[in-house]
Structure 1
Amino acid sequence: MNLSRRNVIVGSIAAGAATAIPGTAQAHGRETYDLTVLGTSDMHGNVYNWDYFKDAEFDDSAHNDVGVAKLAALVNRIRGERRGKATLVLDAGDTIQGTPLAYYYAVQEPITTTGKTHPMARAMNILRYDAVTLGNHEFNYGLPLLATWIQQLGFPALAANAINVKTGKPAFQPYVIKQVSLGHGAPTLRVGILGLTNPGTAIWDKGHVEGRLTFADLVETAKKWVPEMKRKGADIVIVSAHSGDSGTSSYGPELPVENAAGLVATKVPDVDAVLFGHAHVEIAQKFYTNEVTGKQVLTSEPSKWGQRLTRMDFTLSRSRGKWAVEAARSATLNTNTVEADPVVLAAVQAQHRTTVAYVNQVVATSTEELSAAESRYRDTPIIDFINHVQTETVTAALGTGLPVLSIAAPFSRTAVFPAGDVKIRDVAGLYVYDNTLEAVELSGAEVRAYLEYSAKFFVTLAPGAPVDPASISDPAVPDYNYDILSGVDYDIDVAKPVGSRITRLERDGAAVADTDRFVVAVNNYRRSGGGNFPGIVRTQVYNEQKEIRQLLIDWAQAKGAIDPADFSVPNWRLVREGTPVF
């Protein structure tokens, strides 16, 4: 990267003021000690500062950088500054999925068969983490690959609330207690680190974990293990949780709360700090008041992909053999202020180059440019391409029976198939998730209810109000939770309230009846309950564990050409009081 260009970007290096912790004895002249805990989260397979979909150095509108190599440079700098003082490094999960690099060594050349070390294990071992918490995306490629990756790590992988169904005990190490030297002549500090993973894994990766693992409530799990950690000698306790702090869930009440980091801080005594992830947001410093002890509990979330590093600083004192946290503060440091660590880059260089070569393979020729830029609010051929391949695959597997509909979401606003050569990275940029294809049966009434739920993606447009494509969608609903159906024709009237927007629903020119029956092709994330869409969580009529992205690649390679005339069928539109919006 051009460091001189980016050195001016301060980013979020705003450390909060140190906050005294109520309920602790103040030092009053006694000697104090300091501990620094560095935290990362949601790295999602990023080692290099590289965008594999663009085949270029990563960059965004804020000029963020990504990757473990960048994080390692910051960590090494802080360790150097604190030489001889206690510094721990933790990660809050979602590590081995998210880039073509991670995908390649899970699917194309899986580490379970080649015996090669996963690039994220190589990079993280060089950085010398003290512990990593398992995120929900650690389960995406199945338990054997996860087990192999954990074996390759030089530090513990934690998940206290992932429970083995057969034994009723934690399936992974629940916690670790680190003996920490605070400097020459200082007494030893024992830091307990508890790992908590996300209950949503039971939905999102049901095919991999059902009948094998269950996922317990984060608060109740912490209430169980924190006292044991204290009995085993932990002087302070830090929770590393793959769970946001909003207190809400993206699914229904059938599972424990998805984003429970704040609840852990509030309701579990003897927790001194919480490093958390999952929500992909930057929270430099946030304190919660524990309802039991009245203590202030420090929390922080370091954004995503290695863009930020959380730094927590604790002032500690010791009296009558017991440690107390006198004050705490945290900051998030921007990785665009440093050059990537050359040791990490060298360790993963061969795997990075292999991945770059893979994603640059040409799979077909497109007759014209196809863009996803308008796919949220306009029927576009590039989304029709996904639905066509899904429909064709399910129809071929099930034969001619019920009509087959298909569901796809506009995951990316930047995906483009260029006119001419289309490469694997172009397809991967369109379908960014490692979902597999499934299918279920729905009635006409259930299809309508599904579309009504999806239509809440849009804001309500008053008659005569100007229409701005940039603000027509509700910012609270992510693009991946707006689903587009093929195989039926429908209007979404955005002048009407949520729940009453599907004003036309037809197939072959006739209105869809509530009693009509359809087979609906859908990805495994949605079919398992991701996004909490109605009616879709039911037994599959098709599930051959075929990855949708690979189906798209295979279809393009077999055809040799991507021509909208082969698959583009405009079938939906946004209207306002019956008049098309666009």
Structure 2
Amino acid sequence: MGRRAILGGTAAAAALAASGFQAAPALAGPAGRKTVRLTVMGTTDLHGNVFNWDYFKNAEYDDSAHNDIGLAKVSTLVSAVRHRLARERRTPQPLLLDAGDTIQGTPLAYYYAKIDPITGGHVHPMAAAMNQIGYDAAALGNHEFNYGLDILRKFQRQLRFPLLGANAQDWTTNLPVFPPFVLKRVRVPGGGSITVGILGLTNPGTAIWDKAIVDGKIRFGGIVEQARVWVPRVRAAGADVVIVSAHTGMDLSSSYGDALPFPENAAGLMAEEVPGIDAVLVGHAHVEIPERFVTNKQTGEQVLLVDPLKWGMRLALMELDLEKVRGRWKVVGRHGQVLNANTVEADPAVERLLKKDHDTVVGYVNSKIGRNKTAMSAATAAWEDTAALDFVNFVQADAVSKAIAGTPEAALPVLAIAAPFNRAAAIPAGEVSVRDVAGLYIFDNTLVGVTMTGAQLKDYLEYSARYFKQVTGAGPFTPDQVTNAPTETAPKGTPDYNYDIFGGLTKPLVYDIDIAKAPGARITGLSYDGKAVAAEDKFVVAVNNYRQSGGGNFPHIKSAPVIYNRQVEIRQLMIDYVTAKGEIDPATFASTDWKLTANGTPVVVSAG
């Protein structure tokens, strides 16, 4: 297979049939008018996935829905669509777009950003795979900035297609620092061409989540506000069709609350408020939307929105029917669907291309770095104190404590905050590998140290405790009966990563969470080293950069004085700790310091 290779006819037809493809009904245009169908394929939130592989489990990827992941699977679907359309008469060549969050999320992505960074000359696996498949354009995601601007710019130069971000703007001039849009002229069989304008928009939350990287360099305008600026310019540049590739979710919500004047998830609002958009490739929220229509308030035209989930699990198809109206192409029909990657085999050309990179990373994550005396699991960490989360908090607090030695804050009690990112994570007893440790901390967050008062600590814990649903008794309950409560900023349920657990370094921080009480009045018995925490008490708190910069909109943390910020990844600190010590001994850091109660009675939660 070459860069734009296609499957054979029988194989292509079988692949599409298996993937759930449904041919949209043909549009019967008025007599004398030429009607053609333009297909735009799309992916989003690939997060470093090329292979159908779980590096933390060292096995093929699988989940409860038996999804498959990765660009190798996507490539097979793309080839099948291209082959089918190549056989149809009067059908333009399809386009292929991505809506961002490409270079972060797996050990494969981490390895070529931090262990053997692409700034040294290696081609990023995601760039190599996307070039092989033949993308036409991609939008920036917020996670593109995680590894710094040097890595991002190198990745951009390695791509054979533009990386778009109209609202990533120079701090001083407000001009875009990435191409805002691209025009693609698509030939129409039988003569002529359609000019497709592709506008890229990224998430304004980057200003919070990667503040240390972008502050003073790049500012991020609102999705709706910058679409108002750029959609008319794309039209004025000659676009017959305007597609927005937007790294923003469909429905209005913001994990950062009112910390920014722009909503995090604004694709639907953009379609409703900004005239001139024909379709939107939606991303960021990791939600599958095969087809949704929003009516633009000004024009009355429908806008098609499609979100192909995440990690290459789905391929979006946006099908636009066009007619010539007064010499210009106009969209007169819209259809959307998603194809399932678990129905096809991986493209062997993509697998061959990246096999060496994959094998290198598999070897790295499976390398042994120490021993663990007692098995630890995060399976129940969302509702009970576990050694697994105590380990994360211990490493964070220990690193900050050592870093502030000799400073005025060195005499303060040191605490740490961790969230149950990955309930599937576990560190076995016996030999421990990089992947065992890394599985406890699946994000590339860096460590920050701040100071907080006792009153602020109490407020923070109350906010975190909104994660739990209110109950009337002590149970027993299943986990879903008490966790992931909906809130105004998370109407579909608070994710595990927005529930924070505190731990003390040398002395215990003890508290109960009374979930029979209403949110805001749940924290009881808050004490440090056996003494009730007073409002004026002062603590050093180790926290990740996502939370400290405003992610989750937790109170006080964003404005808390920063006393440590060396931008060291927490996951790497954990790996370094095990490597240096040669062992993990839970007895040195694990204790039960918090619990769920209902009117003072311990709550019973049973997962099985």
Q: TM-score scaled by structure 2?
A: 0.91
Give the letter for the 1:304 counterpart: K
Other-structure match for 2:414: 404
Q: Is the 8 A contact 2:271 2:294 kept in 1?
A: yes
Alpha-carbon distance between aligned partners in 2 of 1:153 and 1:468, rounded to the nearest angstrom? 47
Distance (whole Å) between structure 2 residues aligned to residue 14 and residue 181 of structure 1? 24
| Equivalent pair of 1:9/1:336 in contact (CA under 8 Å) | no
Contact 1:217/1:257 (<8 A) preserved: yes
Offset at residue 31 of structure 1 (A): 2.1
Q: Which residue of 1 aligns with 2:181?
A: 175
Answer whether contact 1:14 1:332 (CA < 8 A) is retained: yes
Percentage of identical aligned residues: 54
Conservation of the 8 A alpha-carbon contact between 2:209 and 2:550? yes
Q: Secondary structure at the residue paired with 1:77?
A: helix
Cross-structure match for 2:10: none
Q: How has the CA–CA distance of structure 1 residues 276 and 497 changed in structure 2, closer, same or farther, with 3 Å as cutoff? A: same
1:27–1:326 CA contact under 8 A, matched in 2: no
Q: Which amino acid aligns with 1:507?
A: Y
Give 1:437's aligned residue. 447
By how many angstroms is 1:463 displaced? 2.7
1:348-387 mapped onto 2 (5 Å cutoff): 348-387=354-393
| Cross-structure match for 2:564 | 542
Partner Cα distance (2:435, 2:16) in 1: 29
2:548 aligns with 527
2:502 aligns to what SS in structure 1?
strand
Q: Aligned AA for 1:515? A: E
**TM alignment of 1:109-508, pairs within 5 A:** 109-112=116-119, 114-183=120-189, 185-255=190-260, 256-399=262-405, 400-463=410-473, 465-475=475-485, 476-487=493-504, 488-508=509-529
Cα separation, 2, equivalents of 1:29 and 1:506: 80
Q: Could you say what secondary structure the match of 2:565 adopts? A: strand
- Letter aligned with residue 86 of structure 1: Q
**C-alpha contact 1:159 1:195 (8 A) present in aligned 2:** yes
Deviation of 1:14 (Å): 6.7
Query: Which residue among 76, 82, 85 is the counterpart of 1:82?
Result: 85
How far residue 81 of structure 1 moved from its aligned partner, in angstroms, is 1.1
Write the distance in 2 (CA, Å) between the matches of 1:63 and 1:97.
Answer: 23
- How far residue 464 of structure 1 moved from its aligned partner, in angstroms, is 5.6
Which of 34, 52, 63 pairs up with 2:66? 63
Following the alignment from structure 2 to structure 1, what is the Cα–Cα distance between the partners of residues 110 and 17?
32
| Separation of aligned partners in 2, 1:158 and 1:280 | 20
**Matched AA of 1:489:** V
Extract unaligned runs of 5+ from structure 1.
1-6
Kindly provide the CA deviation profile for residues 375-420 of structure 1, in whole angstroms up to 9, marking residues without a partner as x: 0111100110011111111111112311111000010110010111
1:272 offset after TM fit, Å?
A: 0.4
**Which letter maps to 2:200?**
G
Contact persistence 2:34–2:323 (CA under 8 A) = yes
Deviation at 1:167, TM superposition (A): 2.4
Q: Distance in 1 between matches of 2:151 and 2:417?
A: 29
Give the C-alpha shift of residue 579 in structure 1: 1.4
Q: Distance in 1 between matches of 2:83 and 2:267?
A: 31
Determine the C-alpha separation between the residues in 1 that align with 2:219 and 2:566. Answer: 24
Cα deviation for residue 474 of structure 1 reads: 2.5
Instruction: Tell me if structure 2 keeps the 8 A contact 1:284–1:332.
Output: yes
The offset of 1:253, in angstroms, is 2.2
Partner of 1:557: 579
Displacement after TM superposition at 1:197 (Å): 0.3
Letter in 2 for 1:519: V
Instruction: State the distance in 2 between where 1:480 and 1:12 align.
Output: 32
Aligned to 1:581: 603
Q: Higher mean Cα deviation, 535-544 or 451-460? A: 535-544
Seen in structure 2, the aligned counterparts of structure 1 residues 416 and 190 have a Cα distance that, compared at 3 Å, is: same
Does the residue aligned with 1:544 lie in a helix, a strand or coil? coil
* SS, match of residue 540 in structure 2: strand
- The one-letter amino acid paired with 1:130 is D
Aligned to 1:4: none
Separation of aligned partners in 2, 1:26 and 1:222: 31
Instruction: Name the SS for the 2:374 alignment partner.
Output: coil
Kindly state the Cα deviation for residue 182 of structure 1 after the two structures are TM-superposed. Answer: 1.8
* 1:66 alignment partner AA: I
Matches of 2:582 and 2:68, distance apart in 1: 36
Counterpart of 2:106? 99
**For the Cα contact (< 8 Å) 1:88–1:130, is it kept in 2?**
yes
Residues 507, 556 of structure 1: alpha-carbon distance in 2 compared, 3 angstrom cutoff: same
More displaced, 275-284 or 538-547?
Answer: 538-547
- Conservation of the 8 A alpha-carbon contact between 1:10 and 1:337: no
Q: Give the equivalent residue in structure 1 for 2:41.
A: 38
CA deviation map 1:80-125 (0-9, x unaligned): 111173200000000000000000000001111x211000000000
Provide the C-alpha distance between the structure 1 equivalents of 2:473 and 2:61, rounded to a whole number of angstroms: 42
Figure out how many residues of one structure are paired with residues of the other and give that number: 570
Q: Partner amino acid for 1:575?
A: T
d(CA) in 2 for partners of 1:199, 1:510: 42
CA contact (8 A) 2:19 2:344 kept: no
Q: 2:51 aligns with which of 42, 48, 53?
A: 48
CA gap 1:305/1:498 in 2 versus in 1, 3 angstroms: same
Residue 466 of structure 1: CA displacement?
4.0
Relative to structure 1, the CA distance from residue 416 to residue 57 in structure 2 (aligned partners, 3 Å threshold; closer, same or farther) is: same
Matches of 2:523 and 2:600, distance apart in 1: 11
What SS does the aligned partner of 2:390 have?
helix
Report how far residue 9 of structure 1 moved: 13
Secondary structure class of the residue paired with 2:332: strand
Cα offset, 1:131, TM superposition: 0.1
Letter in 1 for 2:154: T
46-55 or 249-258: which moved more?
A: 249-258
Is the partner of 2:562 in helix, strand or coil?
coil
SS at structure 1 position matched to 2:150: helix
Secondary structure class of the residue paired with 1:82: helix
Q: Distance in 1 between matches of 2:198 and 2:542?
A: 43
Q: What corresponds to 1:3 in structure 2?
A: none
Please tell me whether the aligned partners of residues 474 and 603 of structure 2 are also in contact (alpha carbons under 8 angstroms): no
Asked whether the 8 Å contact 1:12–1:284 carries over to 2, the reply is no
Q: What letter corresponds to residue 20 of structure 2 in structure 1?
A: I
**Stretch of structure 1 that moved more, 463-472 or 516-525:** 463-472
Task: Give the equivalent residue in structure 2 for 1:513.
Answer: 534
Task: Please report the TM-score for the alignment, with normalisation by the length of structure 1.
Answer: 0.95
1:559 alignment partner AA:
K
1:240-283 per-residue CA deviation (whole Å, 9 max, x = no partner) reads 00000111111122421110111111111110000110000100
Distance change (3 Å), C-alpha of 1:206 and 1:464: closer
**Maintained 8 Å contact 2:396/2:542:** yes
